[in-house]
Amino acid sequence: MSRQPLRIGLSARLMHSPPAELGFPGKTLQYLEQSMAHWIMSHGALALMVPTIGEHLGLRRAQISVRDYVSSLDGLVLQGGADVSPSTYHEEALRPDWTGDRVRDLYEIELLWEFVIQGKPVLGVCRGAQLINVACGGTLWQDITEYVPGAIAHRSEDLYDRHYHCVDFAPGSRLANLYPERTGGRVNSIHHQAVRELGADLQVEARSAGDGVIEAIRWRGSSYLFGCQWHPEFQRGDGDLLDGSPIMQDFLEAAEHARA
Catalytically active residues are 126, 231, 233
| Helix, strand, coil percentages, rounded to 5, for the chain | 30, 20, 45
Phi, psi of 218 (to 5 degrees): -145, 140
Instruction: Give the whole-angstrom CA distance, residue 47 versus residue 186.
Output: 27
225 beta partners: 122
135 neighbors 199 (Cβ within 8 angstroms): yes
CA distances from 168 to 29, 36, 117, 210 (A): 37, 24, 31, 9
Could you give the residue ranges of the DSSP H alpha helices within the chain? Answer: 34-41, 66-71, 102-117, 127-135, 144-147, 174-178, 245-259
